[in-house]
Every structure is written in structure tokens, then in C-alpha cells.
Amino acid sequence: MLAYAAGNKKGSNTVVLNLEGLSTIADFFVITSARTGIQVKAIVQEIERVCVEEKIRIYHTEGLGQSSWVLLDLGDVMVHVFTEVQRRYYDLESLWKAAKRIPLPKL
């Protein structure tokens, strides 16, 4: 659902990583890219809207002031919204390469 919310605002290369058994931070990462900081904010706003609608609590949001990497902490799920440059730089997919990718069906 969160991955699709990102897609509603043209988030690209969205992946969901299953971190169960690999991390105590979260069970899942949702990672998506945006072309600009403005698009990062739009994606974050859409995810926040969906969370309110679905009664999903957002415990913390970090990075909105910079708008190149925003992290939303939903407890068991962490959502990372990056600009493409920042996503390549931090390369979370390689850092968590042992995590299984959850396939996202096409809508």
C-alpha cells in the first residue's frame, strides 16, 4: 500500500525489502526515488495521506527540511524517499543485500 502511494506521485524504482531476522530497526524497508526535492515532498505527503486514511501511525519523520532523503518511521516499516542522487550515494539495497525483495504486482 505504501509503495503504491509513492507510485501515485510518480515515485520510481520502488522496492520493498523484508528485513525480518536481519534487523532490529524494522521488519520492512520501502525505498523509492524522486527526481527533485519537490517530488520527494509530494511523495511523502501522499504516503502521509494514505497513513491517515488507513489509520497507520507515523512515529517520526526525518529529513523534510533537506528534501533529498526523507525517512518515515511506521514502527515495523521504514519508508525511505530519496532523490535519485542520494539513493545512489547511500545505496541501501546493497547495504541490505541479504534482505529478500518483496515483488510488487502491477496495478
pLDDT one-digit tens code per residue, 49-103: 999 999 999 999 999 888 899 999 999 999 999 999 999 999 999 999 999 999 9
E-assigned strand segments in the chain: 12-18, 28-34, 60-62, 69-73, 77-83, 100-102
* Residue 77 lies inside a defined structural domain of this protein: yes
Residue 81: inside a domain: yes
Is 107 part of any domain? no
Can you give the length of the chain in residues?
107
The boundaries of the domain holding residue 39 are 2-102
Q: Give a yes or no: residue 80 inside a domain.
A: yes
- 34: pLDDT strictly greater than 60: yes
Phi, psi of 68 (to 5 degrees): -110, -20
Output the pTM of the full model.
0.93
Higher pLDDT pick, 106 / 43? 43
Contacts of 85 by beta carbon, 8 Å cutoff, 6+ apart:
68
Total domains in the chain come to 1
Say what the pLDDT of residue 107 is.
55
The answer to whether residue 19 is domain-embedded is yes
Residue 95 lies inside a defined structural domain of this protein: yes
pLDDT digits (tens, 9 = 90+) for 17-33: 999 999 999 999 999 99
